[in-house]
Each structure stands twice: as C-alpha cells, then as structure tokens.
Amino acid sequence: MSQKYSEGNTPKHFPPVRGELLFGEDLARYAWFRVGGPAEVLYRPADTADLQKFLQNVPAKLSITVIGVASNLLIRDGGVPGVVIQLRKPFNTISLAENTITAGAGALDISVARFALSNGCRNLEFLSGIPGTIGGALRMNAGAYGSEIKDILINAEAIDREGNIHTVSNDELQLTYRHCHAPKDWIFLKATLAVVPGKKEKIAAKMAEIAEARVHSQPIRQRTGGSTFKNTLEKPAWQLIDEAGCRGLRVGEAQVSEHHCNFLINCGRAKAYDLEQLAIEVRRRVHEQSGLLLEWELDRIGREEEEAGS
C-alpha cells in the first residue's frame, strides 16, 4: 500500500507541494505491460508553478524520472528510485487557435486526435493510433501510418531540472526516427501542433482506417509495450526477429508476439525481468543470424529486484 500526502502534510524532507506525493506507489498498474516495481516517490504536480517550485527546491542529486502512460516503458521489478513525475489532469488541456492545436503533455494522443476531428482539423489523425501522451510523443518522436510528431510540431514547452521553462522550436528539438535531441532531464509541458481545416467525414474515415489497421497489425488488446526495437536501415525489426526464428519465443510468461514479432507480450504473470531477458535473447539471436545489432526503442527504467534489495 502506498502512502499518500497532499497539501499541508508533505513530509519534512520534501519541499511543500500542492500536487500529490505517493510513497511506494505500485507502477505496474499504470504500465501497459502491467509489470514493474514501486516508485520510491510518485509526484503528480498540481500545475506548472507547483512543478517548478518542486524542481527548484529538491536536492540536485535526487533522481527524477518522468513517465506518461508507460506505453513504451519497461519498468523493472525493483522499482524506480527517487521521484517519478507523472503529469495528470492539470496537464491535459487541449485548445484551438488559428490553424494550431495546443495540447498539454499529459493529454492522450487519441484525445488530441479526437479534438482535432471535432473541430474539423486534419493532419493529426495518425495520433489516434498511438496509445501514449503528448509528452511521450515528443520524447519519442512518435509516429505511425506515414506521419510523425516532427511533421506537425510548431514548438514545445519544457521545464529543465532547475525549473527553468524553455520554449523550443521543432528544429531545435532535432527530431529524428524515435529520437528527440532535447536534454534527457527536460520534462515536456505542452506542444503546439499545426493543423489544416478539413472535412470531418474524411478525418473520421481516416481515423477509422487507422483503428482497423491497428487491430490487424498490432496485439493492442494484450499487455505489451509497443515496438521493442527500432527498425534498421536494412530491414524492419519485426522481419529480422522473424528471420532469426524468434516469433512466439518465450521466457517464462513473456512471449514474442505471434501477431507482430517486434512486440513482446506479458501472457499473464511475467516479470519485467522475463520481458527484458527475452528481449536480450531476441537481440542476441538477431545479431547471430543477421550481423545486425538491434537498437532498443523500449525505454527501460528502474532497478532489478536484487539491486533494490541490496
């Protein structure tokens, strides 16, 4: 059971915050894989000012990790030391101005796509196929069905480890395939995206097409974490994995999806350790078979169980 603190009764060694502080909160419940240990501290800021004050007042050596909805995260079984920051409701706002949509980093990509649809704006349909948040999409330069964040981003706002707020242009972020050049410790707060007026029926039809394609191509109803590895210049990762004979490969209750072999599945009671060992074995076999070393797309955070206990 985690311990919850809110305004007025923050523990002494923490700066007073208006948001929520949860000590020992189980993170598996938030993760798509449904695995992972607890956060030493989970902090949900009340707003940007609250987060800024927190960052300005916590010791510089305290480890800080930000998560979205953990759809591309493997959280290790020993949990995450330090503070895990999760941007929730106050960071979910979505608004429309002339030919732009501004979305908080905590907003779900699908909510942003639906907002664009209801306002007759096109170009954001691809976001409906990505189950993360805008913050995660910026960090990963998320993309699907021929578009990625880089194609629509005007600028983003982020806060650094000292609490300074930066507004950065698309060019400054140097977004490339599943990569963002922003400093690792920046926390994205919002993004302004370019949209073009369009017919609602056409936008809705494109989103329906994407939803249909996803059902056929991805194991979206299972406990998964999205693509495990990045595609190589030579071949897509799934094909290399298939050619290395890893389709359906298992470690305990962790399995390479039969449906899409760059996705790993928690078949029930897999531990993060099983999933990570499975991915390491897949990577080894692909290397042996093709000579190519797959690069991780999945972000792995936290520590293993033994490390946490020692």
**By CB under 6 A, residue 80 contacts ligand FAD:** no
Nearer to ligand FAD, 89 or 200 (CB): 89
Please state the closest distance from residue 135 (CB atom) to ligand FAD, in A: 2
Out of 45, 143, 262, 279, name the contact with ligand FAD by CB under 6 A: 143
- Please say if 118 is a catalytic residue: no
Task: Please identify, using beta-carbon distances, which residue of 187 and 244 lies nearer to ligand FAD.
Answer: 187
Per-residue contact track with ligand FAD, 222 to 261, x per CB under 6 A?
--xxx-----------------------------------
Residues binding ligand FAD: number (CB under 6 A): 32
* Interface residue with ligand FAD, options 48, 128, 155, 218 (CB under 6 A): 218
Q: Please give the residues from 280 up to 309 whose contact with ligand FAD meets the rule CB under 6 A.
A: 299
Assign 3-class secondary structure to the chain.
CCEEECCCCCCCCCCCCCCEEEEEEECHHHCCCCCCCEEEEEEECCCHHHHHHHHHHCCCCCCEEEECCCCCEEECCCCEEEEEEECCHHHCCEEEECCEEEEECCCEHHHHHHHHHHCCEECCHHHHHCCCEHHHHHHHCCEECCEEHHHHEEEEEEECCCCCEEEEEHHHHCCECCECCCCCCCEEEEEEEECEECCHHHHHHHHHHHHHHHHHHCCCCCEEEEECECCCCCCCHHHHHHHCCCCCCEECCEEECCCCCCEEEECCCCCHHHHHHHHHHHHHHHHHHHCCCCCECCEEECCCHHHHHC
Catalytically annotated residue among 227, 257, 276, 283: 227
227 is catalytic: yes
Kindly state the smallest distance separating residue 85's Cβ from ligand FAD, in Å. 8
List 148, 157, 276, 297, catalytic entry: 297
Known catalytic membership, residue 125: no
- Least distance between ligand FAD and beta carbon 141 (Å): 8
Indicate which residues carry an active-site annotation. Answer: 178, 227, 297
Name the site residues for ligand FAD (rule: CB under 6 A): 32, 66-73, 87, 105, 129-133, 135-137, 139-140, 142-144, 187-188, 218, 220, 224-226, 299
